[in-house]
Amino acid sequence: MKQFSDISAAIEKRKNDQLLRSRVQLHSAQGIRVVIDGQPMLSFCSNDYLGLANHPLVCEAMIASIKKVGVGAGASHLIDGHHREHEQLEQELAAFMVRERALLFSTGYMANLGVIAALMTRHDTIIQDKLNHASLIDGGILSQARSLRYRHNDLEHLEQCLASATSKKLVVTDGVFSMDGDCAPLTDIAQLCSQYGAWLMVDDAHGLGTLGDNGAGLVSQLGLDSKAVPLVIGTLGKAFGTSGAFVAGDATTIEYILQYSRPYTYTTASPPSVAAATRESLKLVINGQDRRAQLNQNIAYFRAKISSLGFELMSSSTAIQPVLVGANERALQLSKQLKEQGILVSAIRPPTVPKGTARLRFTLSADHTQADIDELYDALRLVV
């Protein structure tokens, strides 16, 4: 139809700009050794940082729950879909995060939309890092609040934004940035927020499970309490290996979000079996010091091996290890050449990252071995 011709043109333009995205089919359980489109692959693109997505105890907890309570929740949390498993998980997550209360959401995207839009109005000001996740940006748009963006991890620019902000002020930042792998200077940001009377909300999706003594994330690792960081978002589909997300904070704020968050109110609750599996996963995360130690060893080994080939590693000490390529075509070519050698790694291009900064985004897991990284090294040597 003529009125939809712009849709076809947009797809064609994305194709011509080497920006068209495509899906692969996972034919196996998630892990470091997977079957993609029928072919065995060594994967470096999963967020399953601790190798818990197919952990026997997590799987057993889900199966046992399904046998007991079935599959679907059947209703939203505010009707009768809020199962005892959900309630117990929220209490355990609150204790884990050292916050008064936690509230579950079905996805991390929904959590960020739901929390920001519930708390902020068109009279308020939201101040965000330029490289924040799309869900945080979209949450700000949904709230209709005034939006200010500060240069990535630029404290001076953040202070300028805080000084110009009016009414209620909320500073929002990722803890670990999903495409660069670097960390926000949260201690300094928290100090600025205190100085200017602003709330601070941290999306610790990629720090949760991997950072901190018990895996409670970057906020915990830096010793920032609920006064310094009133709201923490955590996702459960990464290091926890399950699905969903939560917000943790003081009891009054969490109750307000429960009452006023439209994405929370009007969504069917996630299956109780997912909550049961996550409760088991939480135990493994808390006692996962050996897994975190192995992950950190893998990160150091990866950086030493890959940098020796002359690739430009970005400044990251986390499980997210991007290799900057620049051109979209080159990133796609390298990803394709590695796939032909049985190595799976994603080519990340605009608009996910700024123009001219296309990259290979390697993610490491505690389940990777030095032999796996050596295999990647040998494959990369052939495409340098």
What residue numbers does the annotated binding site for pyridoxal 5'-phosphate cover?
108-109, 178, 206, 235
List, in sequence order, every beta strand (DSSP E) within the chain.
33-36, 39-43, 101-105, 125-129, 146-150, 169-174, 199-203, 231-235, 245-249, 312-313, 320-326, 343-344, 346-348, 358-363
DSSP 151: P
Show the tokens assigned to 70.
Answer: 């079935």
Amino acid at 19: L
Q: How far is CA 46 from CA 91, 234, 332, in A?
A: 28, 17, 18
| Inter-axis angle of helices 272-286 and 84-97, nearest 10 | 30
Is 67 an active-site residue? no
Spatial neighbors of 302 by CB under 8 A, at least 6 apart, are 321, 362, 364, 373, 376
Which residues, at least 6 apart from 1, have a Cβ–Cβ distance to it below 8 Å?
none
- Given the residues 83, 238, 243, 316, select the one marked as catalytic: 238
Q: Which of 55, 77, 83, 206 is catalytic?
A: 206
Catalytic residue among 178, 261, 316, 346: 178
In the chain the first and final C-alpha atoms are separated, in Å, by: 46
238 is known as an active-site residue: yes
Residue 67: Cβ-neighbour burial (10 angstroms; 0-12, 13-18, 19+): exposed
Binding site: residue ranges?
Answer: 21, 108-109, 133, 178, 206, 235, 352
Q: Which residues are catalytic?
A: 178, 206, 238
